Amino acid sequence: MDTRIISLGTLAEHPLRDNRRKVRTGHATTTLVRTGDAVILVDPGLPPAAVVARLDERAGLEPTDITHVFLTSFKADTCRGLRAFDNAQWLIHPHEREAVGVPLATLLRDAGDADDETKHELEYQVSLLRECKSAPDSIASGVDLFPLPGITPGMCGLLIAEPNRTILICGDAIPTIEHYEQGKVHTRSVDPVAAMDSYKEAVEIADVLILGRDNLVFNQGRGML
């Protein structure tokens, strides 16, 4: 089992850190998981050329080496680099796929008066989602789905069982170190109560947390520090 961060993400706005309003291009932390014959890339949030470069820098891999891409949620920030991995199987939690798919289809259907750029973006998002398959409960040996609803209806992490520790790829359920340390969830939650429950479950179960827009942290609540 090999788990490593390929690219650190960032929030577009970080209310727990920025004293003044700052706006960046948000993108998710991208993680690589290798076990057996499976080579899983999680949340390729950078543009294709950038994520391909990071994959080579951090792991010496080409896009064709990736067997699966898993999205913790369906956002531009998590799937911006998807098209670099057309040979891989794209996976997402079925609840997230359903929750995103219906509104997207409705927006596209009602986009008659929208400008061409908006229509094109909607069509692109729909095309990506159509190619995302519902993920099974276990993607590979020791790599299992861990639902973390709240930020989005079907947000889902990956729980990775290593011999001496458990790693959880959190997605935006715990976006940054500040959220982890302060026990807070992202302000843009569809269900803040469910999001907090997911935060608590993540902290309870994992020795190591890979945060959605930050580095990994050793979970103090699990006696790792």
How many domains does one find in the chain?
A: 1
Q: What is the pLDDT of residue 185?
A: 93
Q: Report DSSP letters for 94-141, one per residue.
A: HHHHHHHHHHHHHHHHT-TTS-HHHHHHHHHHHHHHHHPEEPPSEEET
Q: What is the pLDDT of residue 117?
A: 67
Q: What is the pLDDT of residue 225?
A: 36
**pLDDT confidence tier of residue 112, bands split at 50, 70 and 90:** low
**pLDDT confidence tier of residue 222, bands split at 50, 70 and 90:** low
What are 146's strand-pairing partners? Answer: 157
pLDDT digits (tens, 9 = 90+) for 121-179: 777 888 888 899 999 999 999 999 999 999 999 999 999 999 889 999 999 999 999 99
> What's the chain's average pLDDT?
90
Q: What is the pLDDT of residue 111?
A: 65
Closest CA to 35 of 130, 151, 167: 167
Q: What pTM does this model have?
A: 0.90
How many Å apart are CA 48 and CA 182, to the nearest integer? 34
Residue 108 pLDDT > 80: no
pLDDT digits (tens, 9 = 90+) for 15-33: 777 656 667 788 999 999 9
**77 vs 15: which has the higher pLDDT:** 77
| Mean pLDDT (whole number) for 29-39 | 97
Task: Mean pLDDT check: name the lowest of 57-61, 118-122, 135-139.
Answer: 118-122
What percentage of the chain carries pLDDT values higher than 70?
Answer: 90
Task: Mean pLDDT check: name the lowest of 51-55, 138-142, 177-181, 187-191.
Answer: 187-191
Residue type for 191, please? D
- CATH number of the domain within which 122 lies: 3.60.15.10
Most distant CA pair in the chain: distance in Å? Answer: 57
What are 70's strand-pairing partners? Answer: 42, 91
Domain, as residue range, for 105: 2-222
Residue type for 207, please? D
Closest CA to 29 of 40, 44, 50, 49: 44
| Mean pLDDT (whole number) for 59-79 | 96
**31 vs 102: which has the higher pLDDT:** 31
